[in-house]
A = this chain, B = another copy of it.
């Protein structure tokens, strides 16, 4: 119902924008390219299907579909298979499905206390995953770039061993990212200001490296989480990263909402407690000072406690916190209750402003989710102005700390989905 209302209103104030860039392919070659992408995206989003079904779903003639499928198969992007049937009557038909084992995308995340990488095939299968603990703020920027380059090389070796060519690479950092310039403009949690990440990597990886891009971690996390929840008919969603910093990625009507200059989602610095703790940004009481991982750890344990040690693996430290909660440690439970209340405060604000169908809590929130989720949901229901929280559900990420790097890999692969013919002649 909600979707319908939205669709009805879509055109209301949109004329100029619709008309500004008329998307009429100008020649046969570009029509063909655009149709190749249409078929490939249909197979990704709606699963394997027969040529007849593809023709019906796309509105293109059957002979055109046959030609397009032949071309996609020659590129190594699709293959034929038998339809999975569950209880249907009749002979199973010959279906087309995405192959794409020969291609992968790589995502690398730079976080406050780790670097991580993942390589995914076009089908989303994981070829490689690795995380290294690193105190990014304390390391020099040049040495962090060295580490990223080493991680990328390892991922490329793994992809190569699996027979997959890397079609692209996306690096995720926290903070304000200038996508067009490939620069992290301002990331106070790691002390970066105007760091030319892409230029530094280009220098290290040389001219043969796959094409790469830089994007904000929460935006990439949102892309990865959206691919998980879209099957539940969720197309308006906010992903909240829970790391040392707190960021947001907004999906609106199935699209990443980047904002006018690509700087949307800076939710960690919402001023929710004017008299509160000092923030790395120089102000007081930002939401991040209330719900960031540092705030929780501070509340849970004294400074000398090993849960504060950034050289230890993050998930081990969080498992330690969860174990304390499980055995009923009063200080830990009180800290988690306070965290849930403060989370609800900011999530309700975002739900009031954007009315998403879901807010997905990622990163460390997901790891401690069992101790948070009920109280967060109750708090959000109580606070949101619209009835029934405006239909907004609070969900826990199933991707945890891998969401930003997975999103980076998906974004790299998206190039193929937009223009499958681009991979024909190598890079």
Q: A interface vs B, CB < 8 Å? A: 1-2, 5-7, 9-22, 24, 38, 41-42, 44-46, 57-59, 175-176, 179-180, 185-186, 222-223, 226-227, 230, 234-236, 248, 250-267, 269-275, 281, 283, 345, 349-350, 352-357, 383-387, 390-392, 410-411, 414, 417-418
Contact of A176 with B386 in the complex, beta carbons under 8 Å: yes
Q: Which of A176, A227, A384 has its CB near the most chain B CB atoms (within 10 A)?
A: A176
Known: A176-B385, A263-B385. 20 other contacts (CB 8 A): A2-B261, A11-B41, A12-B414, A13-B223, A13-B255, A13-B256, A18-B254, A22-B59, A176-B386, A186-B386, A234-B260, A257-B354, A259-B390, A260-B356, A260-B390, A265-B355, A266-B385, A269-B385, A270-B352, A283-B383
Residue of B nearest to A21 (CB): B7
Complex CA–CA separation, A46 to B385 (angstroms)? 39
Q: Which 3 A-B pairs have the closest CB atoms?
A: A259-B355, A17-B254, A260-B357
Complex CA–CA separation, A46 to B20 (angstroms)? 9
Contact of A254 with B352 in the complex, beta carbons under 8 Å: no
Contact of B258 with A15 in the complex, beta carbons under 8 Å: no
Complex CA–CA separation, A274 to B342 (angstroms)? 12
Complex CA–CA separation, A420 to B265 (angstroms)? 39
Q: Which of A5, A13, A271 has its CB near the most chain B CB atoms (within 10 A)?
A: A13
Contact of A262 with B2 in the complex, beta carbons under 8 Å: yes
Given A11-B418, A19-B57, A355-B264, does the pair A271, B269 have CB atoms closer than 8 Å?
A: no
Contact of A226 with B352 in the complex, beta carbons under 8 Å: no
Contact of A261 with B386 in the complex, beta carbons under 8 Å: yes
Enumerate chain B residues within 8 angstroms of A24, measured Cβ to Cβ: 59
Distance of A16 from chain B, by nearest CB (Å)? 4
Distance of A34 from chain B, by nearest CB (Å)? 11
Distance of A96 from chain B, by nearest CB (Å)? 15
Complex CA–CA separation, A259 to B41 (angstroms)? 25
Distance of A75 from chain B, by nearest CB (Å)? 18
Enumerate chain B residues within 8 angstroms of A256, measured Cβ to Cβ: 9, 12-13
Enumerate chain B residues within 8 angstroms of A16, measured Cβ to Cβ: 45-46, 230, 235, 254
Distance of A25 from chain B, by nearest CB (Å)? 10
Complex CA–CA separation, A272 to B13 (angstroms)? 31
- Partner of A226 from the list B13, B236, B260 (CB cut-off 8 Å) is B13
Distance of A38 from chain B, by nearest CB (Å)? 8
Contact of A254 with B2 in the complex, beta carbons under 8 Å: no
15 CB contacts below 8 A, A to B, read A9-B256, A16-B235, A16-B254, A17-B230, A19-B46, A20-B254, A175-B385, A236-B260, A250-B353, A252-B252, A261-B386, A263-B355, A267-B353, A271-B345, A275-B275
- Partner of A57 from the list B13, B22, B275 (CB cut-off 8 Å) is B22
Given A58-B22, A176-B386, A352-B270, does the pair A41, B17 have CB atoms closer than 8 Å?
A: no
- Partner of A350 from the list B9, B13, B353 (CB cut-off 8 Å) is B353
Contact of B390 with A265 in the complex, beta carbons under 8 Å: no
Residue of B nearest to A60 (CB): B24
Enumerate chain B residues within 8 angstroms of A15, measured Cβ to Cβ: 41-42, 44-45, 417
Complex CA–CA separation, A12 to B250 (angstroms)? 13
Contact of B186 with A387 in the complex, beta carbons under 8 Å: yes
Contact of A353 with B353 in the complex, beta carbons under 8 Å: yes
